């Protein structure tokens, strides 16, 4: 449900928005501020109630839209997102960490031994009770997702409009390979190099490939992805299938473990 639909008490009150940061690099929150030219225009449509990164207002009890960045990596964070869900009409997950578990999700495999590896004795109390990193949608229902690592500021603006006003646009599911064909860029596989565009959801216009670097899969697996087909394609181009599986872990470890 979009925010305006929920606001029945008065027509004049703009939707109240909070921004919550979990385990992440803060980059997606920064990307919001990186929409400089449009920032005040965006803020003019909402009542920004809480955003720890940029204002010293305290977190309020009531709001309409919650924007969540980061993966859920502690019991405390689980509790936070559940509380947010109870209060928000619309929950938006932004960035790979929140949408797929992202890079923090890589640690979901053998978590305990990893903690020991970095903190010799035991984790400090300040770290809270850690759990296997998960995307927000594994804990609560999420209404919309802005993909990629980091999010594109304009993609965020488009999603925010949908959260506020609603939209009947369907989520596209095609893989990124289709975009490269349209862009007429040279395929990495023809040079014997691995690229994850084969199975990754198209969300970025093939930004990395356009700049000479293969796709790392930050938008997450496409629902249309055929992993076995992709493995066969790797083999036929002389690209290591083991490398393909390893590379997939970077942004899809949580999905692969299911």
Partner 1 sequence: MKATINVDHVARIEGHGDIHVVIEEGQVKTVEMAVVEPVRLFESMVRGRSFTEVSYIASRICGICSASHVVTDLLAIERIFGIEVSDRTNALRELLLYGSYLQNHGTHLFVLAAPDFLGQKSVFPVEQIDPALFDSALALKSLGNELCTKVGGRSIHPITAVVGGFTHEMSADEYRAFADRMDGMRPFAIATVDLFNSFAIPDIQSTGDMLAMYDPDKYAICDSRIAKFAGAGTEFDADDFDGNIEEYAVEHSGALFARARWTKSNYMTSALARINVSWDNLCKDAKVAAAKAGLRPPERNPFRNNVAQAVELVDALERCAELCRRLANDEFEGSSVPEPYEVRAGRGVGFTEAPRGTLFHELDLDDDGRVVRASIVTPTAQNVANLESDMRQLAELLVAQGADEAEIRLEIEKLVRAYDPCLSCSVH
Chain residues in the site for partner 1 (CB under 8 A): 21-31, 33-34, 36-37, 39-40, 43, 48, 51-57, 70, 73-74, 77, 102-104, 106-107, 111, 113-115, 117-121, 123-128, 130, 133, 149-150, 207-208, 211-213, 216, 243, 246-247, 250
Please state the closest distance from residue 94 (CB atom) to partner 1, in A: 12
CA dihedral 120, 126, 130, 135 (to 10 degrees): -130
Please state the closest distance from residue 182 (CB atom) to partner 1, in A: 19
Q: Which is nearer to partner 1, 77 or 89 (CB)?
A: 77
Please state the closest distance from residue 107 (CB atom) to partner 1, in A: 5
CB 148 within 8 A of CB 219: yes
User: d(Cα 226, Cα 188) in Å, to the nearest integer?
Assistant: 18
Q: Which is nearer to partner 1, 123 or 158 (CB)?
A: 123
Q: Which is nearer to partner 1, 9 or 121 (CB)?
A: 121
Report strand pairing: 65-69 vs 16-21: parallel
State the sign of the Cα–Cα–Cα–Cα dihedral 57, 69, 42, 31: positive
Q: Which is nearer to partner 1, 2 or 253 (CB)?
A: 253
Helices 227-236 and 241-257, interaxial angle, to 10°?
170
CB 149 within 8 A of CB 103: yes
Helix spans in the chain (H) = 3-6, 27-33, 36-43, 75-87, 95-100, 111-118, 153-165, 177-183, 207-210, 227-236, 241-257
Please state the closest distance from residue 205 (CB atom) to partner 1, in A: 12
Please state the closest distance from residue 15 (CB atom) to partner 1, in A: 17
Q: Which is nearer to partner 1, 66 or 89 (CB)?
A: 66
């Amino acid at each position: 449900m979009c925010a305006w639909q929920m606001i029945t008490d008065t027509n004049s009150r703009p939707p109240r928005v909070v921004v919550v940061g979990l385990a992440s690099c803060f980059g997606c929150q920064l990307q919001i501020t990186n929409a400089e030219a449009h920032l005040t225009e965006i803020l003019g449509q909402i009542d920004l109630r809480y955003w720890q990164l940029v204002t010293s207002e305290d977190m309020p009890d009531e709001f309409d839209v919650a924007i969540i960045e980061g993966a859920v990596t502690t019991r405390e964070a689980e509790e936070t997102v559940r509380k947010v869900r109870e209060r928000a009409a619309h929950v938006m997950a932004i960035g790979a960490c929140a949408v797929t578990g992202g890079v923090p999700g890589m640690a979901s495999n053998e978590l305990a031994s990893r903690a020991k590896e970095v903190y010799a004795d035991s984790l400090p109390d300040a770290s809270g009770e850690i759990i296997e990193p998960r995307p927000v949608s594994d804990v609560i229902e999420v209404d919309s997702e802005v993909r990629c690592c980091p999010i594109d500021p304009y993609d965020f603006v488009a999603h925010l409009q949908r959260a506020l006003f609603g939209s009947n646009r369907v989520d596209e599911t095609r893989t990124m390979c289709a975009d490269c064909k349209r862009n007429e860029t040279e395929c990495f596989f023809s040079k014997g190099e691995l690229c994850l565009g084969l199975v990754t959801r198209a969300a970025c216009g093939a930004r990395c490939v356009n700049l000479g670097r293969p796709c790392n899969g930050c938008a997450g697996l496409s629902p249309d992805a055929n992993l076995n087909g992709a493995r066969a394609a790797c083999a036929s181009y002389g690209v290591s299938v083991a490398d393909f599986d390893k590379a997939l872990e970077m942004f899809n470890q949580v999905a692969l473990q299911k």
